[in-house]
Amino acid sequence: MYKLINNNIDGKLSCILRIADNTWIPMNPDNTDYQAFKTAVLDQQPNTLIDNGDSFSMSSDESILKDADGNSMTIDEAKAYVKTLP
């Protein structure tokens, strides 16, 4: 599971939090964790196992991506959003 993190000053996306191990991922296309994040979201299919950090859940339409407010995105919303990232 991943969460978008916004900058407190301007409210723009600043990094990605990988919830499972509390790792902050920079928005850098050369970063292998960033590449893995994009691949994981874009390759996600319905009914996949989601690692919530301290538990697992099965998702029908819920994505592995949460918005900056902590709300789960649908798989289609997450894929569309990630396609807009560098």
The confidence score (pLDDT) of residue 10 equals 93
Question: What's the rounded Cα separation, in Å, for the pair 65 and 16?
Answer: 10
The confidence score (pLDDT) of residue 85 equals 94
- Element holding 15 (H helix, E strand): strand 13-18
Q: Helix or strand or coil: residue 53?
A: coil
Its pTM stands at 0.79
Of all residues in the chain, the percent with pLDDT exceeding 90 is 51
**Which residues of the chain have a pLDDT value below 50?**
none
- The answer to whether the CB of 2 falls within 8 A of the CB of 73 is no
